[in-house]
Amino acid sequence: MEQLKSFFNGKSIKNILDIGTGAGDFVKVLDDTFGDSVAIVGTDPGEQWLKEARERFPKEHIQFIRMEGEKLGFNDDSFDVVSISNALHHLKDIEQGFSEMKRVLKPNGWVVINEISDGDLNEAQENQKMLHHFKSFVDRLHGISHKKTWTKEEIVDIVKENGVDVQLSFPHEKMKKANFDEVFLDERYQMMENLLEELQGRPEHEKMADKLALFRERLDKHGFQMATQLMVVGQFT
Ligand SMILES: C[S@@+](CC[C@H](N)C(=O)[O-])C[C@H]1O[C@@H](n2cnc3c(N)ncnc32)[C@H](O)[C@@H]1O
């Protein structure tokens, strides 16, 4: 990613920790940005994600380890960069997450936060937000921490409130335009249908069933596009 590349140009970066790495989508961004000479460790509590990530990145300088962002099993002052992409809103304890990032970062290390954002979304992106909010609603009913999409201002505020001096922030698009491919749209619809299935027998089912019908209509009309993401880079003060 060009903005990240030029920001880190000339800075000595030897290793990166990516928290909440999932199947490694952000590891791909980091690997493309920093290259093979920088070691990357991706961590996530979900073993099924890590299995997928390991298969995607059979590279010596990249490894994946199971752990939660609030309890990192690394020594103090271990990494030059700590990143967390689309996972901050999954943390049970955001403050503790930041405190762990600060602990494992080397002095003057860099924190990179990437988050999907709300505000100024087109209709196709509103569809992604709708699916995200449906998923976060169902997760919360199951007792799993999963917050709604924050606005760009809220993301920056959270980062600053947790002691980070923000030095770079920019919005970017993972998908440049709405996708209208039938199979792709059917898969998104299926995801919401599966989530609704999990609500069978609960009082919330009826209200959410209405959302499913609306989602189908909106998908056919507007397509589906990832919401704009906000990249924030800074250092702990
Ligand atoms: C939407 S995915 C993001 C994946 C990837 N980083 C990306 O940018 O596409 C959110 C990830 O956060 C992980 N997660 C959930 N709770 C977490 C926690 N307490 N600490 C770290 N990661 C967590 C989930 O397992 C999931 O893989």
- Give the distance (Å) from ligand 1 centre to CA of residue 37: 25
Residue identifier of the C-alpha nearest atom 9 of ligand 1: 25
Show the domain range for 103: 2-236
- Give the distance (Å) from ligand 1 centre to CA of residue 201: 29
- Give the distance (Å) from ligand 1 centre to CA of residue 114: 12
Of the candidates 74, 84, 83, 80, the residue with the CA atom closest to the CA atom of residue 106: 80
- Give the distance (Å) from ligand 1 centre to CA of residue 90: 6
Q: What pLDDT sits at residue 91?
A: 97
Q: What pLDDT sits at residue 198?
A: 93
- Residue 49: CB within 6 Å of ligand 1? yes
> CA 180 to CA 224: how far, in whole Å?
7
pLDDT band at 13 (very low <50, low <70, confident <90, very high): very high
- Residue 24: CB within 6 Å of ligand 1? no
Tell me how many domains the chain contains.
Answer: 1
Q: What is the CATH number of the domain that holds 37?
A: 3.40.50.150
Q: What pLDDT sits at residue 206?
A: 87
- Residue 19: CB within 6 Å of ligand 1? yes
Q: What pLDDT sits at residue 219?
A: 98
DSSP string over the chain: -HHHHHHHTTS---EEEEET-TTSHHHHHHHHHH-TTSEEEEEES-HHHHHHHHHH---TTEEEEE--TTS--S-SS-EEEEEEES-GGG-S-HHHHHHHHHHHEEEEEEEEEEEEEESS--HHHHHHHHHHHHHHHHHHHTT---PPPEEHHHHHHHHHHTTEEEEEEEEE-SSSS-B--HHHHHHHHHHHHHHHHTTTTSTTHHHHHHHHHHHHHHHHHH-B-PPPEEEEEEEE-
- Write out pLDDT tens, residues 154-198: 999 999 999 999 999 999 999 999 999 999 999 999 999 999 999
pTM: predicted TM-score of the whole model, two decimal places: 0.95
- Residue 163: CB within 6 Å of ligand 1? no
Tell me if 117 sits within 8 A of 228, measured CB to CB: yes
- Give the distance (Å) from ligand 1 centre to CA of residue 221: 30
- Write out pLDDT tens, residues 65-119: 999 999 999 999 999 999 999 999 999 999 999 999 999 999 999 999 999 999 9
- Write out pLDDT tens, residues 15-54: 999 999 999 999 999 999 999 999 999 999 999 999 999 9
- Give the distance (Å) from ligand 1 centre to CA of residue 91: 8
- Residue 42: CB within 6 Å of ligand 1? no
**Which atom of ligand 1 lies closest to the CA of 69?**
20
pLDDT band at 1 (very low <50, low <70, confident <90, very high): confident
